[in-house]
Structure 1
C-alpha cells in the first residue's frame, strides 16, 4: 500500500507503516530549508543546534492534529475550513499559501539547478526547468499507487547530510554539550536566526499536505472509510498516524540538526559566516571539507528538491481544489480532476518561470518566509479549534496531550511572527 499501510494488516514492517508523516517531514528539509540551516550554522556555529530538540515535539503536535483531521473527516484542511468558517478567511489563507508555495518552488528548482551545475557544469536555469518538468510529469502521469513509493524512497536522499558530517573531524562531546546546554544570546541577529529556523521548520504547506495525504490513503485502501463513518477502524489508523508522524518529524529534525552541524564544523570554524543559498554552502564545503563532502551535500540538494517540489505543488493543488469544491487527488485521472491538476501544473510552471525573471531569489525566498509566517498562525489556530470540535471530529476530538503540544507550537509561532516584525529592518 502506498504511503501508508492497509490498516487491517498486522504483519507489516516499519517501512511499510511509514507514509504521509515521513514524506511530510522529509519534504520540510527542502533546498530552501537547507539554505536556512546552512546560514545559521555558518553564522553561529553550534549555537542553534538546540532548536532541533525544541521543534521536534512542536512539529509532532501540529502534524498529528492535521493528519487526524484528514483521516477522521475524510477531507483535507481547506475543505474543513470551507465547511465551518467564513469564505473570506478560506480564500485569503489559500491564496497566500499558493503564493508562498509558488515562490518556494521557484527557489527550490533554482537551487537544484545550481547544485547540478556545481556537479557537472552547464546551465543552471536549464537544469531548473528540467527538474520542474520531471517533477510535474511524475505527479500527473504516474498513478498514485506507483508514484507514492517514489516519494517515499526520495526521503533517503536526505541521509546524505548525515554522511557529510562523518566525512569531517568532530568533537562529539562538545556537540552534545552545546546542544543540550546551549549558549543563548539575545542580540537581534541571533533572535532573527531562531525565528528563521522555526519559520522554516513549521510551515503551513505541511499541514495541508499531510491531512490530504491521509485522505488519499483512506480512499486508495479497500474497505477504509473516514473514521466518523467507520469508528471501528480508528485504533489501528490513529496508532499508525502517531508512529508515522513521530518517525517523520524525527527524521526531519535529525537532518536539520546535521545540516546545521555540517555548516558549523566547516564554514563557521573556517570563518565563512555569510551563506545565502544551499548551492553556496555546497561550493564553500569543497575546499574546507573535501570533494566527498561537497558531492554528498550537492547531491542531497537535488534529491530533497525532487521530493519537496511535488509536495509544495501538491499542497497548493489540494488547498485550492478543496476551497472551490473541485474533485481532488493524485489518485484520480487528469480528466477526472482537471482543476486540481491545473493548479498543480500552474504552481510548478510558475515556480520554474520565476527563475527567468529579474526577481532576486534571495529576496523572493525572504518574502515567502514572511508570508508563511503570517499565515501559519491563523491556520494553526483554526486547525487546533477544528480538532477540538465535535461537529467536525465526532468522538475523535483530540486529547489534552495533543492540545498542549499543538497550542504550544501555535503560541511559539505567534511569538516568532511578532519578533519578526519587531526586528524588521534592524
Structure 2
C-alpha cells in the first residue's frame, strides 16, 4: 500500500506543480512592466530637477529667440548627461561613497577645497531661484508670494525631514509627471514638423554673443553640478551594489532621454508660437512665468495654466533636490553623517543646513522686485563655466583603478567623456574672452 501511495503521489505531484507554475506565470505576465518602473529612481529625479525654473526659462528662451534651430543642442546634451551621470552612479555603486567624499579623500587639500567652492558657487542662489519659480507659478493662479513661498517651504521641509528616503523619492518621482503638461502645450502649438526635424538633425551655429551665451547656459542648465552630487549620494543611500547596477544604468539613460525630450518640447512650444509670430526676429522673455503668459494670445488660457503647472512642479522638485545636493556635498567634504534616512540627532549638520537653506530661500523669494532674469541667467551661466572643474574631477576618479578596479571607463567611454569636457571648457573660455573683450569695446562676434 505504501508503494502504491508513493507512486500515486509521484504521478500527481508534477501535475500540481505544473498547474501552480502556469497559474504563477499568468499572474506575473501582465505586471512584468512594473519591473522596469521599479528601476527608475535617482537618475530620473536628478535629470528632471534640471528642468527647473531656470531650465524652463532657458529652454523657453532658446525657442523664443532662435526658433527650432537649437533643438540639436539637446540631442548632444542628452548624450553628455547620460555619460556623466552614468559615471557618477557607477562610482557610487563601486565605492559606496558620495562624490564629495571621494574628492576629499583622493585630492590634495587645496584642490579639494577649490572643487567644493565650485560646488557651492554653482548651487548658491539656484535654490532661491526655485522658490522664486514656485512663487511665480502660483502667482499665475493669483496666489501671492507671501503665501506661496512659506507654504511651499514648510511642505517641502516636512516632506524631507519627516520622511524616509524611499518616501521622498516616490514623491519626487510623482512630480516628474507634471512635465507631461509641456507635451500638451507643444501639441496645441501645431509646430512645423519639417522644421522640427531639421532643427533636431542639422546643427546650426550662429556666430554672435547671444547665441554663445545661450549655448553655455543650456549646458550649465542641462548638466548642472548638483545633479552629479545628488545622483551619486542617492545611489549610496539606496545601498546599490554592482549586482543591481544594470537597473541604475537603465534609470540613468532613460532619464536623460526623458528629461531632454521634455526640454526639446518646451523649445518647440515657444518656437512654434513666440518665434514664429515675431517674423524671425525672436522674442526675449522676462522669466519662466513670462513664457507661460506669452503663450496666452496663441494657445489660450488653458495652455498658460498647464505651462504654469509644469513650472510649479519642476520648481518644487528642484527645490528639494538642490538643497539636499548641497547638504550632501558639504557634509561629505567634512566627513560628517548625512542622509535623508538619518534622524536629526544622527546628522545635525546635514539637517540644520537643509533647514537654513529652505528658510533663507523662502525669505528672499518673498522680496518684491527681484531681478529674476539676471539671477537665473547668471547662475546657470556660472554653472556652465564651473562644470569643467567638476567633469575633470569625475574623470580623474572614475579612471582610478585603485578606487574602481575593473569598473573604470573603457576607451570609447573615455573618448565621449573627455570630448564633452573639452568642448564645455572651450565654450566657457570662448564666452569669457568675448565678455572680457567687450569690456574694452572690442566686439569679437
Give the TM-score, by structure 1 length: 0.90
Moved more, 159-168 or 173-182: 173-182
Q: Which residue of 2 aligns with 1:421?
A: 432
- CA distance in structure 2 between the aligned counterparts of 1:354 and 1:365, rounded to whole angstroms: 14
Query: What residue in structure 2 maps to residue 95 of structure 1?
Result: 117
How many Å apart are 1:314 and its aligned residue? 0.7
Q: Does 1:152 align with 2:162?
A: no
> Match of 2:13?
none
Measure, in 2, the Cα distance between the counterparts of 1:417 and 1:349: 33
Conservation of the 8 A alpha-carbon contact between 1:63 and 1:245: yes
8 A Cα contact 2:92 2:236, kept in partner: yes
The two structures, once aligned, show a CA RMSD in angstroms of 1.9
Q: 1: distance between equivalents of 2:105 and 2:41?
A: 27
1:19 is the counterpart of 2:41:
yes
Counterpart Cα distance in 1 of 2:139 and 2:193: 33
Question: 1-side partners of 2:98 and 2:301: how far apart?
Answer: 44
Confirm or deny that 1:367 pairs with 2:373: no
| Structure 2 residue aligned with 1:251 | 258
Alpha-carbon shift at residue 353 of structure 1 (Å): 2.6
Alignment match, 2:392: 381
SS in 1 for 2:328: helix
1:344 to 343, 351, 354: 354
What is the rounded CA distance, in whole Å, between the counterparts of 1:136 and 1:402 in structure 2?
Answer: 39
Are 2:273 and 1:266 equivalent residues in the alignment? yes
State the structure with more CA Rg: 2
Q: Distance in 1 between matches of 2:34 and 2:118?
A: 40
1:278-324 Cα offsets, whole Å, 9 max, x none, are 10101111122112211110000001111111110111010000011
In the alignment, the residues of structure 1 paired with residue 216 and residue 117 of structure 2 have an alpha-carbon distance, to the nearest angstrom, of 23
Following TM superposition, by how much is the alpha carbon of 1:124 offset from its aligned partner in structure 2, in angstroms? 2.4
SS at match of 1:283: helix
CA contact (8 A) 2:80 2:420 kept: yes
**Where does 1:19-418 land on structure 2 (aligned, <5 Å)?**
19-119=41-141, 121-218=142-239, 227=241, 234=242, 236-271=243-278, 273-357=283-367, 360-418=371-429
* Aligned residue in 2 for 1:221: none
Gaps of at least 5 residues in structure 1 are 1-9, 219-223, 228-233
Shift of 1:182: 4.1
CA deviation map 1:112-152 (0-9, x unaligned): 11111112x13124312322222222111112222211111
Q: Secondary structure at the match of 2:125?
A: helix
Aligned equivalents of 2:346 and 2:202: distance in 1?
Answer: 54
CA distance, structure 1, for counterparts of residue 122 and residue 152 of structure 2: 19
Give 3-state SS (helix, strand or coil) of 2:51's partner: coil
Aligned length: 402
Q: Are the equivalent residues in 2 in contact too, given 1:327–1:340 (CA < 8 A)?
A: yes
CA contact (8 A) 1:79 1:323 kept: yes
Q: 1 CA distance for matches of 2:149 and 2:267?
A: 25
Deviating 4+ runs (over 4 angstroms): 356-359
